[in-house]
Amino acid sequence: MSFRTKDLARQRVDILIDNALKNARENMGLAQRQALIARRICMKFNIRLPYEKRQLFCRGCKKFIVPGINARVRLGNKPRSVRVKCLGCGHVYLKVVDRKPRC
């Protein structure tokens, strides 16, 4: 597979996810479909999404989740974290943000 093919695939994934985000509020069915196609392209071409985009997919049911529409974002204590809950399957993704120094 050439470098060019992978680049094209990456562009297409970007467009699909952008459109899915735009459509999420009015037409969730379409957004889900676009996100599914984007995810499939990623798997086929072995593309790794940047963190912000990876967050848009539920770790539990792999669906497209948008905060405020079908996901809930809360800040938690113990451990200090950002908690993203998928309202489709109820899976909670925990992003621990501890302020302890790393060294």
Provide the binding-site residues for Zn ion, judged by CB under 5 A.
Answer: 58, 60-61, 86, 88-89, 91
Shortest distance in whole angstroms from residue 26 CB to Zn ion: 21
Shortest distance in whole angstroms from residue 72 CB to Zn ion: 11
Listed in sequence order, the residues at least 6 apart from 54 whose beta carbon sits closer than 8 Å to its beta carbon are none
Tokens of 81: 């974290």
Nearer to Zn ion by Cβ, of 15 and 89: the residue is 89
Nearer to Zn ion by Cβ, of 9 and 86: the residue is 86
Nearer to Zn ion by Cβ, of 9 and 93: the residue is 93
Shortest distance in whole angstroms from residue 66 CB to Zn ion: 12
Contact 35, 20 (CB under 8 A): yes
The maximal CA–CA distance of the chain, rounded, in angstroms, is 47
What is the signed CA dihedral for 36, 37, 43, 48, rounded to 10 degrees? -80
